[in-house]
A and B are shown apart, each in its own frame.
Chain A
């Protein structure tokens, strides 16, 4: 027994390798997600729960926000019940790959890197990424080159900032990754980091709530949110795209947008683009 013990750590490695080899679940094997959703009468939507004003849980425990309304409306149009699944920046892609969710309405920027793992709908939200800094310390994005900055783990801003900085001859940036947005902002307040990059809409909300924080002008990255979908499932992707385009055409999209980001909302962001609508 004593001798055999030495091999057990090795067994773990082998077992994990086998599990890893299973990844990802055979895509498109058999049924389309469309058929599964329609047969079950339930669509499972991955939504973030700490991303106001796009998706968050309010004081009475209701899950609300722009992404939430959009997901609900898509389910309603499909004529199925919605099951909302809590995801974050790190689980939204793996849950899609493994079929734990059918779509991810998670303020997810459409990037080529992510497109290797999942597919995306047409763009449904337009914005820019920039940095939030402490008032009066920095004036431009160039001032932050080489400084220690906070970014969200798994965010597209990580690559964008490296690229932005390298293209303009800046030194390699020092990046601290946070999985918790609130923790990142706290680090910025405390002086642990010099800036925090996020999508403009989130930063606007942050700056509105704290006079000591301001947005830097400019953009390190364009933000184009797409709904995350299982890879290689064109029937389901078509369904979602057509549904989004119908929502855009009949004005439902605009109503939802204005409710959360319109002139009367707590955070105002002018609509930054136009959805492509296929004839």
Chain B
């Protein structure tokens, strides 16, 4: 790697991390903000859709199933265009900005996957656990919230973490709308001068490293969370006595 390459990478690094100077947050910071918001909002939706698909009157089950299959079945890039150009176009009067479209598309995408994970989690809650809760006098909603749901989320933590990492990485397709996140900034920085073609490979390697670094951090964080919860888990301590 030559001196000029290092100088170039060093000069674009701040933009890659937090966006161009004087502008709104961009780069990796925006990627993180959008991903975290989408995962959070997606989880809220999944809380309704996941259990809805597992139990409930058949119209609810069918609607939830349709929701999951539709948003899980569309490629993220296509979903992004559907949201930005068709749903968020002037036709329906919404007129969404690229950022808003990006957040909505990522949220819908994340929620469909999270709903499925939650449904799988709910399916493996041991009956004994629910019955014990009922024996000690738990009300239906208490049992649902504190036993079934909390158990489902705990056992499915690795799956949720995997989904979060996937979503974070997949957010790279937002470059198609020029949202200003890491991939867009990379393309702008490289595209600012045709002579930057020489730095193409090292720059994308650096950006790949940034993505991998964050993905690794999420994975470690999830691992730590899992271990901490396990130690406090009654079932776990009984079976691993």
Contact = CB atoms under 8 A, between A and B. Distances in A.
B222 interface: no
Interface stretch (B16-24, B121-129, B228-236): B16-24
The binding surface of chain A is classed by DSSP as mixed
Interface residues of A, number: 47
Interface string B51-91: 00000000001100110011001100000011011100111
Contacts of B193: 52, 56, 209
Interface residues of B, number: 43
B166 interface: no
Contacts of A50: 187-188, 190-192
Contacts of B188: 49-50, 56-57
Nearest to B201: A186
28 contacts: A4-B65, A8-B65, A8-B66, A9-B73, A11-B70, A12-B70, A12-B74, A22-B86, A25-B90, A49-B178, A57-B188, A57-B191, A61-B15, A85-B98, A87-B178, A88-B176, A94-B85, A98-B91, A99-B90, A180-B187, A182-B191, A182-B196, A183-B200, A185-B200, A189-B197, A202-B194, A209-B197, A210-B195
B210 interface: no
A181 interface: yes
A16 B70 CA distance: 10
B200 A182 contact: yes
Contact of B194 (A90, A180, A189, A209): A209
Interface of B: 11, 15, 19-23, 61-62, 65-66, 69-70, 73-74, 81-82, 84-86, 89-91, 98, 176-178, 180, 184, 187-198, 200-201
Contact of A1 (B11, B61, B70, B85): B61
A78 B62 CA distance: 52
A26 B89 CA distance: 12
